[in-house]
Amino acid sequence: MRKKINYWTQLSIDYAGQRSYLDDLFKVYPTIPEGIRDIDSILWKNIEKAFELRENVALLESILRLDLFPIKDSYVAYLKRDKEALKRNPATVDRLCGRLYEMGLDEIFSRSSEPKETNRQIGPLFKRWLNKKSLGVDML
């Protein structure tokens, strides 16, 4: 037995299949890739120095100051909030730095300067679209 689809869900499915769905969706969510992130030149020099001298804590302290950490790792958010955690967790520091040394400075720079992902930009876009009164009425 087939379940009945919610009325609004069915309308959305029909709309997506028959109309200029992506063009219309872009009016609400105009996700345009941003340019690369700027990296402060003084901060980058500190990263290079710590990297060359293999000063793990100093390297992570500097890299954690970047907008984007070059490695996806669950512990990075914690380390950004608690700077003292670097001193209390030497195995984590060594593990992260090992990955950074394998990457090399060019790859660290490249990954740390990547533009913000478009899926991270859409949060405020729907409300902004409503505020433009795109539906012909004041929704908020």
Contact 113, 38 (CB under 8 A): yes
Contact 96, 103 (CB under 8 A): no
Show the domain range for 64.
Answer: 41-112
Residue 103 lies in a domain: yes
Number of compact structural domains in the chain: 1
- Could you give the angle at the alpha carbon of 54 between the alpha carbons of 52 and 60, nearest 5°? 105
- Average pLDDT of the chain is 86
Residue 140 has pLDDT above 60, yes or no: no
Residue 133 has pLDDT above 60, yes or no: yes
Residue 68 lies in a domain: yes
Residue 10 lies in a domain: no
Contact 61, 84 (CB under 8 A): no
DSSP string, 89-134: -HHHHHHHHHHHHHH-HHHHHHHHTPPPPGGGT-TTHHHHHHHTTT
Residue 135 lies in a domain: no
Q: What is the pLDDT of residues 57-116, one digit of tens each?
A: 999 999 999 999 999 999 999 999 998 999 999 999 999 999 999 999 999 999 999 877
Residue 85 lies in a domain: yes
Residue 117 lies in a domain: no
Residue 136 has pLDDT above 60, yes or no: no
